[in-house]
C-alpha cells in the first residue's frame, strides 16, 4: 500500500469491498492546481499548441484539396481553370455593360474575385469548421486551433492556385497597367503597377490573420447554433454584389465628382479587405484608410475570438 | 512524469433538439417573452463523481455494461471532454484508440493512411516513415498498400489500423474495445504486438468486455455503473464482483497458461 490516496465512491454512497483496506478520504472539493478550463491561459495555450501541430493541420488542409480532385486527370488545376473562366466571363460582361476596356478592367476583376473567394471561403468554411470535424474532435484531444488552421490553410492553398490566374492576366495585360491608366472611362487616374506591389504581402498576411479569428468565432457560434451556416451563406451572396468586385469602385468617382454612394461603400468592411490587396496588385491608388479599417477589425476580431475561446473552447466537444 | 488526476468530475451533455439549438428560440424568447416551459436544455448526466488517480506504470481495465460510461470516461481521461464540474489534469502525451477507423481516408493509399493515422496519434511524419516498412511487414498487405483504402476488405482495414496503432510509442494509451474482425491467426500475431505496445506505454486504460484481454493487459480495474465508479481495485476482485463469479475459473487453460499463474488476490489494487 503506497501513501497515494485513492478515493472511491460507489453509486449508493456505500463502500465497495476493496475499500476495506484502503485509506478513504472524503472527496475534496478543492480543484486540482493549474489553470481552470475557462481561463485566458488555456485559450492562449490552445492557439499555441495548435500552431505547433503544423504537420497535422498542413497535411489535413492539403488533403482536403487533393480529396476534392481525386481521380480527376488534372486535379487541383481545376481550381485555377474555373477561376480563370469566371474572371474572363465577368471581364467581358463588364466591358460590355460599362464600356470599359478589358485590358484595364480584367486585372481588377481577377484580383477582386481571388480575394473574394478567399474571404468568403474562410467565412463559410469557418462556420462549418467544427461541425465537419466532429469525428476527429470526439476522437482526438487536439487543440481546437488545429481544425481552424486546417480550414485557413486549405483556403490559403486555394488562394495560391488562384494566384496563377492573376499572374497570367497581369502577364498578358501588363502593357495596359504598367503606366498611369483609367480602370473605367472618365474614372480616377490610377498610378499603375509600381514598387508598391510589395504591399500585397503584408496585406495578405493581415487578411490571413482576420481569417483566423473569423473561423474561430463563427466556428464556435455555428457549432452551438446550427442556423448560422445557412444565414452566413445567404448573406455572402448579398455582400458579393455590394462589394466592388464585379463592378469597380471607380464608378463612384467619375468625372472628378464623388458620388454619395461612396460614403455608403466605406461602411462595407469587405470593400476595405478587398481593396488593401487589390490596390497594390493592379496598381491602384493606395489609401491608408483601408489599412486602418482592416487593422482595427483584426484587433477587435481577435479580442472577440479569444473571449469565445476562453469561454466556450471546452464546450465545443460537447456541442458537436 | 505521466499522470492523470481527476477529482469529483462530472460530464453532462446538453441535448439540443432542433428547436433549442437554433437562434430562433433565443431571439423569439427575447422578443415575445418565454415560449413554453422547456426553456432549459435537457441534460444527460453521463458521468458523476469521478475521482481517479493514475500514474506511470498503471494498467487499468474498465468494465461495465453498455452505456455505463466507459467510453465517456476514456474521453474524459483523454482530455477530449473537460469535466463540466470538478477538475481533471492530464500530464503526458495521450494516444487514444477508440475507433480503429477514425482518420482513415478511403480514397488514399494504405501507405498514406499509415502516415496520417500516425500523425493523429501524435507521431511526426518522420517517425512514421521510419515505421512504414515494419508496419507493412506486419500487416502482410504487400502490394495492396499502394492501393486506395476503399479497395480493402474490412479485415484488411483492421490489420492496417492495428499495425499503425501498435507501432507507436505512447505515454498514455487509451484503448476502447473493438479489436475484433480479424482472423484468428492474425489475432495471435496482433496479440504479441499489443502486449509489446502496452509494455512500451507509460500508462494503459483499457475498456473491454473480454476477460482474456483484460487479464493479459491489465492488473487493476474500474467497474463503471450508471456513470459512476462502482468499484475500483485489483482486476480479479473487480471482475469477480462485476460478474458474480471468479473469471479465472472460466478462462480456457491455454489462456491461463499464457497469462501465467493466476494472479493472487492483491487486496487493494495498488501497484507501485
Contact B103 A21 (CB under 8 A): no
Yes or no: say if A221 and A308 are a contact pair by the CB < 8 Å rule.
Answer: yes
Yes or no: say if A131 and A151 are a contact pair by the CB < 8 Å rule.
Answer: no
**Of A279, A245, A250, nearest to A262 (Cα)?**
A250
**Of A81, A273, A66, A86, nearest to A157 (Cα)?**
A66
Question: In this structure, how many other beta carbons lie within 10 angstroms of the beta carbon of residue A20?
Answer: 10
Of B12, B17, B20, B21, which to mutate for an interface test with A (greatest number of A Cβ within 10 Å)? B21
Q: In what order do the strands lie in the sheet with B43-55?
A: B43-55, B3-14, B85-91
Residue B81 with chain A: CB contacts under 8 Å: 317-318
Dihedral (Cα; B131, B137, B141, B143), 10-degree rounding: 80
3-state secondary structure of B271: coil
Cβ contacts of residue B257 below 8 Å, gap of 6+? none
- Does domain B3-93+201-261 fall under CATH 3.40.50.300? My reply is yes
Predicted pLDDT of residue A75:
84
3-state secondary structure of B180: coil
For residue A6, pLDDT over 50 is answered with no
Provide the shortest C-alpha distance from residue B13 to chain A (in Å): 6
3-state secondary structure of B220: strand
Taking the Cβ of residue A311 and every Cβ of chain B, the question of whether any pair is shorter than 8 Å is answered with no
Q: A151-174, pLDDT tens digit by residue?
A: 999 999 999 999 999 999 999 999
For residue B250, pLDDT over 80 is answered with no
Q: B96-111, pLDDT tens digit by residue?
A: 888 877 778 888 889 9
Contact A9 B53 (CB under 8 A): no
Residue ranges of A 145-184 with Cβ closer than 8 A to chain B? none
* Mean pLDDT, all residues of chain B: 81
Cβ contacts of residue B182 below 8 Å, gap of 6+? B155, B158, B159, B162, B190
Contact A27 B8 (CB under 8 A): yes
Band of pLDDT at residue A92, cut at 50, 70 and 90: very high
Predicted pLDDT of residue B74:
94
Of B1, B7, B128, which to mutate for an interface test with A (greatest number of A Cβ within 10 Å)? B7
Q: Where are the domains of chain B?
A: 3-93+201-261
For residue A28, pLDDT over 60 is answered with no
Average pLDDT over residues A225-239: 92
Alpha-carbon span A43 to A238, nearest angstrom? 34
Residue A226 with chain B: CB contacts under 8 Å: 21-22
Residue ranges of A 18-47 with Cβ closer than 8 A to chain B? 18, 21-22, 27-34, 36-37
**Of A139, A137, A146, A286, nearest to A202 (Cα)?**
A286
For residue B196, pLDDT over 90 is answered with no
Predicted pLDDT of residue A2:
36
Cβ contacts of residue A243 below 8 Å, gap of 6+? A112, A116, A268, A270, A271, A274
Contact A32 B89 (CB under 8 A): yes
Cell numbers found for residue A122: 474562410
- Residue position matching grid coordinates 480532385: A69
**What burial class does residue A58 get, using C-beta atoms within 10 Å of its C-beta: 0-12 exposed, 13-18 middle, 19+ buried?**
middle
Q: With a threshold of 0.80, does the pTM exceed it?
A: yes
The DSSP result for B125-177, as a single string, is: HHHHHHHHHHHHHHHT-GGGGGSBGGGS-HHHHHHHHHHHHTTS--SEEEEES
Band of pLDDT at residue B5, cut at 50, 70 and 90: very high
Of the candidates B23, B79, B96, the beta carbon closest to that of A227 is on B23
Alpha-carbon span B90 to B173, nearest angstrom? 12
Q: B217-232, pLDDT tens digit by residue?
A: 888 999 999 899 999 9
Yes or no: say if B10 and B86 are a contact pair by the CB < 8 Å rule.
Answer: yes
The DSSP result for A47-102, as a single string, is: HHHHHH-HHHHHHHHHHHHHHHTTT-SSTTHHHHHHHHHHHHHHHHHHHHHH---H
Predicted pLDDT of residue B29:
52
For residue A51, pLDDT over 80 is answered with yes
For residue B262, pLDDT over 60 is answered with no
Beta bridge partners of B13: B44
For residue A189, give the H/E element and its range.
strand A189-190
Amino acid at each position: 500500500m503506497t501513501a497515494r490516496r485513492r478515493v472511491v465512491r460507489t453509486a449508493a454512497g456505500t463502500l465497495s469491498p476493496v475499500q476495506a483496506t484502503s485509506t478513504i478520504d472524503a472527496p475534496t472539493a478543492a480543484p486540482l492546481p493549474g489553470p481552470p478550463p475557462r481561463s485566458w491561459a488555456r485559450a492562449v495555450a490552445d492557439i499555441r499548441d495548435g500552431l505547433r501541430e503544423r504537420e497535422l493541420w498542413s497535411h489535413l488542409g492539403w488533403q482536403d484539396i487533393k480529396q476534392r480532385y481525386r481521380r480527376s486527370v488534372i486535379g487541383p488545376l481545376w481550381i485555377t481553370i474555373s477561376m480563370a473562366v469566371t474572371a474572363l466571363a465577368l471581364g467581358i460582361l463588364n466591358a460590355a455593360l460599362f464600356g470599359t476596356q478589358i485590358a484595364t478592367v480584367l486585372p481588377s476583376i481577377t484580383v477582386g474575385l481571388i480575394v473574394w473567394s478567399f474571404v468568403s471561403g474562410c467565412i463559410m468554411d469557418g462556420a462549418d469548421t467544427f461541425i465537419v470535424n466532429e469525428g476527429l474532435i470526439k476522437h482526438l484531444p487536439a487543440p481546437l486551433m488545429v481544425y481552424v488552421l486546417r480550414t485557413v490553410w486549405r483556403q490559403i492553398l486555394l488562394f495560391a492556385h488562384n494566384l496563377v490566374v492573376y499572374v497570367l492576366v497581369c502577364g498578358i495585360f501588363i502593357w495596359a497597367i504598367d503606366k498611369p491608366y483609367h480602370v473605367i472611362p472618365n474614372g480616377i487616374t490610377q498610378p499603375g503597377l509600381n514598387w508598391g506591389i510589395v504591399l500585397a504581402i503584408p496585406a495578405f498576411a493581415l487578411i490571413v490573420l482576420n481569417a483566423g479569428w473569423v473561423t474561430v468565432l463563427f466556428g464556435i457560434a455555428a457549432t452551438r447554433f446550427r442556423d448560422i451556416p445557412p444565414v452566413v451563406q445567404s448573406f455572402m451572396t448579398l455582400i458579393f454584389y455590394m462589394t466592388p468586385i464585379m463592378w469597380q469602385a471607380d464608378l463612384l468617382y467619375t468625372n472628378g465628382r464623388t458620388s454619395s454612394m461612396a460614403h455608403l461603400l466605406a461602411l462595407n468592411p469587405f470593400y476595405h479587405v478587398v481593396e488593401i490587396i487589390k490596390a497594390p496588385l493592379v496598381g491602384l491608388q493606395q489609401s491608408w484608410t483601408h489599412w486602418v479599417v482592416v487593422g482595427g477589425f483584426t484587433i477587435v476580431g481577435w479580442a472577440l475570438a479569444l473571449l469565445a475561446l476562453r469561454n466556450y473552447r471546452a464546450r465545443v466537444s460537447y456541442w458537436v | 512524469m505521466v499522470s492523470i488526476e481527476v477529482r469529483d468530475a462530472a460530464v453532462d451533455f446538453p441535448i439540443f433538439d432542433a428547436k433549442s439549438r437554433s437562434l430562433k428560440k433565443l431571439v423569439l424568447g427575447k422578443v415575445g417573452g418565454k415560449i413554453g416551459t422547456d426553456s432549459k436544455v435537457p441534460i444527460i448526466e453521463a458521468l458523476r463523481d469521478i475521482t481517479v488517480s493514475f500514474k506511470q506504470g498503471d494498467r487499468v481495465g474498465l468494465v461495465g455494461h453498455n452505456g455505463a460510461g466507459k467510453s465517456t470516461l476514456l474521453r474524459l481521461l483523454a482530455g477530449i471532454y473537460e469535466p463540466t464540474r470538478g477538475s481533471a489534469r492530464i500530464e503526458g502525451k495521450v494516444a487514444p484508440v477508440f475507433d480503429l477507423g477514425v482518420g482513415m481516408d478511403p480514397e488514399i493509399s494504405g501507405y498514406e493512411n499509415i502516415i496520417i493515422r500516425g500523425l493523429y496519434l501524435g507521431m511526426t511524419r518522420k517517425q512514421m516513415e521510419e515505421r512504414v516498412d515494419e508496419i507493412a511487414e506486419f500487416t502482410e498487405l504487400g502490394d495492396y498498400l499502394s492501393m486506395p483504402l476503399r479497395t480493402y476488405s474490412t479485415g484488411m482495414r483492421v490489420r492496417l489500423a492495428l499495425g499503425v496503432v501498435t507501432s507507436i510509442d505512447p505515454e498514455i494509451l487509451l484503448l476502447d474495445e473493438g479489436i475484433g474482425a480479424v482472423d484468428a491467426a492474425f489475432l495471435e500475431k496482433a496479440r504479441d504486438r499489443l502486449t509489446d505496445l502496452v509494455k512500451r506505454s507509460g500508462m494503459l486504460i483499457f475498456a473491454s468486455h473480454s476477460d482474456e484481454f483484460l487479464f493479459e493487459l491489465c492488473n487493476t480495474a474500474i467497474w463503471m455503473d450508471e456513470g459512476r465508479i462502482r468499484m475500483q481495485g485489483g482486476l480479479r476482485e473487480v471482475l469477480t464482483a462485476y460478474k458474480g463469479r471468479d473469471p479465472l475459473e472460466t478462462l480456457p487453460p491455454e489462456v491461463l497458461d499464457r497469462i501465467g499463474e493466476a494472479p493472487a488476490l492483491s487486496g487493494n489494487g495498488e501497484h507501485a
